[in-house]
Amino acid sequence: MFYVFGDFFKVAPKANLIIFAFLFFILDSTWRLCIAKILSSRNNNKTIAIFSSSPLAHDIINHCQQHPQLGYSVEIHTNINTIKSTILEHKDKIIIVVDNAYLTESGVAKTLYELLARHVEISTLAEFYEELMGCIPLSEIKEEWFIQEIKSDKSFYESIKRIIDVTLALCAMIVFSPFFVLFFILIPTTSSGPAIYKQKRVGRDEKVFTVYKFRSMQKNAEKDGAVWAQSNDLRTTKMGNFLRKTHFDELPQLVNILRGDMSFVGPRPERPEFVASLKQDIPHYFMRQTVTPGLTGWAQIMFRYANTVNEQREKFKYDLYYIKNCSTWLDIGIIIKTTKLIFTK
C-alpha cells in the first residue's frame, strides 16, 4: 500500500520495511492463535475409550497429554461393559478405539455393533493411531492390511506427479545454475576430491541406480565400509557442513529426477547394503520399493536421521503412511513443509 501510494504517505523504503515486518508479525500471530483456537474448540470434549492392552494405547495417552490442544481425554478399558457405562456417564463425544485382538472375543463385536445406534464413533487401534500420529503402527498390521489398504493402480496420480517432477526440476536447474558452477569450483579447491559424489541406491522395484550429490565428506570417507550418515558427522568437510545445512548438496539429484530414478517426494532411497539387512530386521520393509524414492518425504519432515535399526523401524512407519496415502495434495504439502523447514531451522 505504501509503495502504491508512496507520494501521499511519504514513507521511506526502510520505514516501509519496518512497518511491513511489524504488520506481518501481528497478522501471523493472530492467524496462528485463531487456528489454534478453532482446532481446540473443534476437538474439545472428546473422550477416547481405548479397549486394548497394546503398548500403542500408552503411546496415544502420552501423545494426547503432550498435545492438550487436541482436547482429547483418554481412558483405557479392559472390559467391554465398562465402555457401556462410560457412554452413559459422558455427554461428550465418545470415540471407541479397539485393537483387532479384542474383536475376536465373545460378545465384543456384537456390543460395538449395538453402540453404533448411539452415534458412537468406533475405530480400530491402527486407524486411530495413524490419524493421530501420522504413521502406521507396524505391530498392528499384517499381510491382510496391505491387501486392503495399498492400491496398486495409481497411474493417473503418477502421471501427474511425473509432469510436476520434470517441470519443477527443469525450473530448479535454471534457477540454481549459478550455484552449480560455484560449487563445481569451490568443492575441489577446499578439499581433495571431485565435486560430485556418486553412490548406489535402491529405487522403485528394487532397481539399483546411481545417485548424484555435491561431495560433503572427505575423500575416501567410507574406506572401511558403508555406515549411516550422522547429523553431526566428523567426516564432513567445512564446505560440506554448509552444503548439508543449506541442502545444496542435494542439487545434483535434480538430474536423477529428470532421469526418472527419483521424484521430488517419496521415501529416501537407501543403499543396497542397508536395504539387504533392513529387509531381514523390519517386517514389510520391501514395500518401500513399491514407490519411486524422493528428494524429500513424509518421513523426512516427521522424523529425523535414522542411524540404528530401531530408528529405521520408526522411520519406516512414516514411509508406510505415505505409501498408503500418497496423493498430489499430500506431495504439495510435503514440499511446502520441507521448504519451511529449510528456511527456519
Q: Give the domain-ending residue among 76, 103, 133.
A: 133
Which pLDDT band holds residue 163 (cuts at 50, 70, 90)?
very high
19 within a domain of the structure (yes/no)? yes
> 331 and 247, same structural domain?
yes
144 within a domain of the structure (yes/no)? no
310 within a domain of the structure (yes/no)? yes
**Number of separate domains in the chain:** 3
- pTM of structure: 0.79
145 within a domain of the structure (yes/no)? no
Which pLDDT band holds residue 31 (cuts at 50, 70, 90)?
low
Tell me which residue range forms the domain holding 21: 6-40
Specify the pLDDT at position 121. 85
Specify the pLDDT at position 43. 46
In the block, which residue shows the cell 535454471? 174
> 121 and 172, same structural domain?
no
Q: Residue 121's domain is classified under what CATH number?
A: 3.40.50.2300
* Residue 198 pLDDT exceeds 80: yes
* Residue 206 pLDDT exceeds 90: yes
Cell numbers at residue 135, please? 504413521
Q: How do residues 217-268 score in pLDDT, each as one tens digit?
A: 877 666 555 666 665 666 778 888 888 888 899 999 999 999 999 999 999 9
168 within a domain of the structure (yes/no)? yes
Q: How do residues 48-100 score in pLDDT, each as one tens digit?
A: 888 887 888 889 989 988 888 888 888 888 777 777 777 766 656 778 888 87
Q: How do residues 129-144 score in pLDDT, each as one tens digit?
A: 999 999 999 988 889 8
